[in-house]
Copies of this chain bind each other. A is one copy, B any other.
């Protein structure tokens, strides 16, 4: 074994998200550590109740109740602030940054309120502040805007940034439920924050819009300059009338810049989105963000905005960048690593066989137009145990020829290709069958 540098991670808050982060680091540890060339250690954690049973194993001596103790511990390299709130969390974050540490944060409220101060502290202490998890959880939108689209100026960024509101609006639309009925269900499913106003009155969306505004323009717009409207007054009838007019209602956070004057505007309000806009199809708890850059044009990014796993994915991405920064390496290393001059490539992939790729199929046949042909075709398919899901025989006169459209239940590539070869041999099948796959990807 080659000795790798050990990176000590301190957690402030070890609740749902913190435990998710550690669980997933454990699961992918070998791959992650190989890629990073470093060992990741859960070194210390500050929690409210040290006695509480947790699935994450950490020696009792490494658990404390004082966020500042973790934030300022000289042995801690990276501090993950996952406690939330803007008082104690702010104190701890500033303390860590003053010590020159790297802070990884999911705290959008704190960032929105004190972003400027946090960044200043990071620069002064020569540390870093990462916050991918603060906006749109599983979608790496911070990285997309800041690095992937770095060449661009952004005249318009808007998005569905609050999964709870989107869930409520989607349910109202699809199930014809009232706001009151839907909110009861959302509460039951634990989708609504303890402080409901954060979600329903648009404040959570506003926090995220302010962060997007900073990414786009380098300025921290004050929350008091952001007009914010929530979704409480939207009725089922609004949703229906909007639909009749060709729209869907979504709560949007919008950061726009007037290309002439350069003036910036950040706002949050429910919006009627035309059905041909892709964001009109982003439903349920999903988030979706449209980013218009002056060079790349418009890109749209869709994914889960919250939840233990999606948020953990973002935090781990930040931790990875933090480790790269600590080691002075670019964060864009390939999956292979050079150790002591020798290169250990990824193990050879085992390729799947055609018979292991299963799915539904669409087959178009050009056949002779006479009785009994469908029976012949069906018999060929039955011999290969390919089960027919639907048959269309379009009533189009093609002289003595006809078209048959078949779709199948689940089969596999090998069998379906053999079936097509056998169909081609039939005297009444005039040209090679045309095969298309039907997507049945499970998300």
Contact = CB atoms under 8 A, between A and B. Distances in A.
Contact of A346 (B139, B217, B316): B217
A282 to B, nearest CB: 7
Given A263-B352, A351-B265, A336 B119 contact: yes
Contact of A144 (B148, B328, B356): B148
A56 interface: no
A252 B439 contact: yes
A436 to B, nearest CB: 5
Interface string A120-134: 101110001010100
A367 interface: no
A436 B269 contact: yes
Q: How often does this chain occur in the complex, in copies? A: 2
Contacts of A336: 119, 123, 218
A390 interface: yes
Interface residues of A, number: 128
A385 B377 CA distance: 68
A18 B11 CA distance: 46
Interface in A283-314: 290, 292-293, 295-304, 309-310, 312-314
Nearest to A274: B439
Contacts of A68: none
A356 B265 contact: yes
A330 interface: yes
Which label, helix, strand, loop or mixed, suits the secondary structure of the A interface?
mixed
A147 B140 contact: yes
Contact of A272 (B147, B252, B270, B437): B437
A234 B317 CA distance: 41
Interface in A423-443: 434, 436-439, 441, 443
A303 B309 contact: no
B24 A238 contact: no
B303 A303 contact: no
Contact of A295 (B24, B124, B392): B24
Contacts of A8: none
Nearest to A136: B299
A249 B298 contact: no
B147 A332 contact: yes
A86 interface: no
Contacts of A267: 357
Nearest to A337: B123
Interface of A: 24-25, 28, 31-32, 35, 116, 119-120, 122-124, 128, 130, 132, 137-140, 143-144, 146-153, 156, 158, 213, 217-219, 221, 225, 227, 233-235, 237-238, 241-242, 244-245, 247, 249, 252, 256, 258, 261-265, 267, 269-274, 277-278, 281-282, 290, 292-293, 295-304, 309-310, 312-314, 316-317, 320-321, 324-325, 328, 330-332, 334-336, 338, 343, 345-346, 348-354, 356-357, 362, 364, 390, 392, 394, 403, 405, 407, 413, 434, 436-439, 441, 443
